[in-house]
Copies of this chain bind each other. A is one copy, B any other.
Amino acid sequence: MELKQVGEFGLIDLLKDNTIFDSSSVVVGIGDDAAVTLPTPRQLQLLTADMLVEGVHFALETTAPWQLGYKAVAVNLSDIAAMGGTPKHAVISIAVPKHTQLDFLTNLYDGMKEICREFGVNIIGGDTVSSPQGLVINVTVAGEVEPTNLVRRSGAQIGDIVVVTGPIGNSAAGFDLLTKGNWEDYDFAWPLVTAHLTPRPQVKAGRVLAEYGATSMDDISDGLASEANEIASASGIGLIIRAADIPLSPEMIQAAGLFEKQAIDYALYGGEDFQLLFTIKPDQYRLLANQDIGVQLTAIGEVVEKAAGVVLIDRNGNRTALEPRGYNHFR
């Protein structure tokens, strides 16, 4: 059945089941002019949005609708995680070509609902409209954070350690595998393709890092080079990153070999890893490193004086300025 046969209100009826996973904070969900929620007293409110456009951010040849729905929410939860916060509610707008099959849309929303269920996030509203061309998805996520746990980009201080929460570059290698064909032939492809299609936001880790006093934090959506520069610029400091210490997965190194690329380039410029990059005082890092927080923390550098910019020290000890090359969606 096609969307145009049921219309906007019919679609909303189909999608609004199983959207509330933490009812204690929802006063009005889908179905009024606006959603109404009950904030937790004395917490700050967080708000973030990401728009995904067919042909720019995804291609339906390389992603199933369920995966696309999952990722569209995941990238927003990752932004909340990077503030040290807890995601609470999602508002989802989609523009849909009118010949879209209803099955496609229910699968898309099932992916959204799955990640919302996992993270206790309520889908409380949105907009469903027609698109003359491709699919467009905008997800807005509201979250909360205690004032003491808020982690901004701008708090890095000289002497802090620079740390990441997991392997970097897997998503970009997965993208190459998906778009350059035959990835099913390679056993090593699975974790990379999965990292690209259904990234897991580091919400739990973000909370713990905030509690341990992370001084600045970003999620790695645009590549390590870009995010490191964001922190350096916002904090008014410099960063030194040691290439040899950046965690690269063996699978990603295999993929780099297959495509005759430098594995480190996937990590520096690839993006969409959704690991967290953060800075923290050395003594706090030592405390943290002794805990099991469910992710593999790796120190990859230090915060230095501003004049340094972001400097990459390669395996031979050579220092080069690490430019914030990343995605420019307008080229």
Contact = CB atoms under 8 A, between A and B. Distances in A.
- The CB with the most chain B CB atoms within 10 A, among A54, A234, A331, is that of A331
B129 A3 contact: no
A79 interface: yes
A33 B218 contact: yes
Interface in A1-56: 3-4, 6-9, 11, 27-28, 31-39, 41, 43-56
Contacts of A95: 51, 53, 56, 136
Contact of A331 (B49, B91, B98, B218): B98
Interface string A221-256: 000000000000010000000000000000000000
B328 A7 contact: yes
A296 B237 CA distance: 58
A78 B33 CA distance: 9
A51 B130 CA distance: 10
Contacts of A127: 49-51, 138
A93 interface: yes
A271 interface: no
Interface of A: 3-4, 6-9, 11, 27-28, 31-39, 41, 43-57, 78-80, 82-83, 85, 89, 91-96, 98, 124-134, 136, 138, 140-143, 145, 150, 152-154, 217-219, 234, 327-331
A54 to B, nearest CB: 8
Nearest to A219: B33
A45 to B, nearest CB: 5
5 contacts: A7-B330, A27-B44, A49-B91, A51-B93, A56-B132
A56 B129 contact: yes
A130 B329 contact: yes
Contacts of A80: 33-34
